[in-house]
Structure 1
């Protein structure tokens, strides 16, 4: 029964992802900004006013990112086939074996085309239906993305504007005083750990984005601002985000810069900056307070990516932090918390 219940929950989460993902994202944003809202309320600013200011700031940030990335990303998507061909031709010079393989592939293709031409009069007429291009797919998905973004912002506003209503309802449903105190402790601990993690990661990613933009601009890359913004956004996804940014920067450099060496320099600089961030800066600022198993983080990113695609990868670590906090407070989950924990000062 337990296995069936887990499978049913996973199926429901996957089927209702269009609704569930924005709700969870709004809750995470509310956890991040609930502390500043309470701080402003203690200084005489009403909760709805501070909530509206925060949501408007988020809306301005989303609009800035969309405006800054729309033209470069659309150009990359439109030129993806041409970029792939140029990358293929330039990479042929790396190995004579690769050139031989390509030549053999071309000969096989010509032989197949000759055989097909010989049988052209005997075979049925073939009808080719062109598939929709990537820009068409993006345009078709844009209304849903806009609607989900608006829903996230509206829900975040109402959660923040409600103030301590959630905590009051949580206390009222608990049967005794010890359960009430534990529930409040868990709620505030989750809020503190998730907000601390997201705040630190946002600041670290902002610094990485600035460094990437400046470095790639100095190397002559086109649209260095777009690469800086992409590095900022993609670095919210552990491991995978840095790899995607590295591959994309190498491909664009290979197409737009004069030589293959220049492309490798760009990729090397990007790799160096992300390595410094991942191996030095983030462990120093975040790892001292948040200790999670690296293997568990990678599994969580892969699992939520499989379930919810890109947004799942972005929310994987905050959800893992939430689970880790729950494991600290609930006795039945403490063995799972030991499994989630990474190496610490007391772990050899």
Structure 2
């Protein structure tokens, strides 16, 4: 009788096991990123923003400004710009928060136009035995209860701010050394050349993305401010700054700004129709920006699939909050660059239909 010693059993479903292991690894990584958000979010944001700002540091370095000094100047400039924008947005927000009871009364008055449709809806509900009623008169704006959780969600802690700025300065100052060390980790010429191309592509595309998107959003902010000024909206500068800031968050940002303009317009305008003019003009502005201006300026090389952007935006916002939404598009760009260089077009492809 022949012995079966030395014959290894064939394990069925090797691909399934590999897929399960990769899935477990992905779940583990997401869990670590979520639990340790206070560390990974500031560091990841500093890495991505630092890569975007590296071309500016290179420009200053060519003007014989030391790299470390360039890093401090760039971060100081970015911080001053952020403080200026926050000041424009926070001033009207604080004023409106203090006037919340008055604004709630004015909004209820404007919403009386919906009393009759609501009454018809309640009669329709009554046919199916639903006696719960809701009228425009019952609508009330919260006094201040929503402010604390909203601020806690939107603003990181002082430690996260400190970690972000320290990491950003050190990253920009040492980016050239980090590039060289990363490239020299590969022993063969092909690996070093591929790594160099990947790092150059990431730096160039992220820098172009930040420059172009900032210019476009600045234009959207100016356009929104002009629209608000023409339609007699309160504090057009603050609303313009808010529109420019929210436009850094693709898809979701303009939608949020539209609803803000609708609410502010309804409260402040004399009639309901007049209150919707600014929101309608803003829709036209964002339509022109999204369908003509952005594709023309950024070009097809940086144009991202809308579904991929939306899914990535939803995922990173769920994982890391608003800053995760800001990082969604740059992370997607980095992923596409890695795909281009690690899985080139001459790799095996699916057959054409």
TM-score, length-normalised on structure 1?
A: 0.82
Quote how far apart the aligned CAs of 1:99 are: 4.0
Report whether the alignment pairs 1:229 with 2:236: no
- 1:27 pairs, out of 47, 63, 73, with 47
Quote how far apart the aligned CAs of 1:309 are: 1.8
Quote how far apart the aligned CAs of 1:147 are: 3.6
**2:215 alignment partner in structure 1:** 203
Q: Is the 8 A contact 2:153 2:321 kept in 1?
A: no
- 1:241 pairs, out of 253, 263, 270, with 253
Change (3 A) 1:132 1:36: closer
- 2:275 pairs, out of 260, 263, 284, with 263
Matches within 5 A, 1:42-53: 42-53=62-73
1:118-163 Cα offsets, whole Å, 9 max, x none, are: xxxxxxxxxxxx9982233356668744443333222111111114
Distance 1:100 1:60 in 2: 54
How many residues align? The count is 319
Quote how far apart the aligned CAs of 1:78 are: 5.4
Distance 1:209 1:254 in 2: 21
- 1:9 pairs, out of 12, 15, 29, with 29
Quote how far apart the aligned CAs of 1:306 are: 1.6
Q: Is the 8 A contact 1:55 1:156 kept in 2?
A: yes
Report whether the alignment pairs 1:305 with 2:325: no
Matches within 5 A, 1:165-180: 165-180=177-192
Change (3 A) 1:316 1:88: farther
Distance 1:20 1:2 in 2: 21
Report whether the alignment pairs 1:148 with 2:160: yes
Structure 1 stretches of 4+ moved >6 Å: 102-105, 332-335
- 2:328 pairs, out of 312, 316, 331, with 316
**1:72 alignment partner in structure 2:** 92
Greater gyration radius: 2
Change (3 A) 1:53 1:220: same
Quote how far apart the aligned CAs of 1:85 are: 6.1
Q: Is the 8 A contact 1:326 1:333 kept in 2?
A: no
Unaligned runs of 5+ in 1: 111-129, 339-348
Q: CA RMSD in A?
A: 3.1
Distance 1:202 1:13 in 2: 28
Distance 2:229 2:82 in 1: 23
Distance 1:302 1:84 in 2: 31
Unaligned runs of 5+ in 2: 1-20, 135-141
Report whether the alignment pairs 1:56 with 2:76: yes
TM-score, length-normalised on structure 2?
A: 0.81
Structure with greater helix percent? 1
**2:9 alignment partner in structure 1:** none
Change (3 A) 1:144 1:295: closer
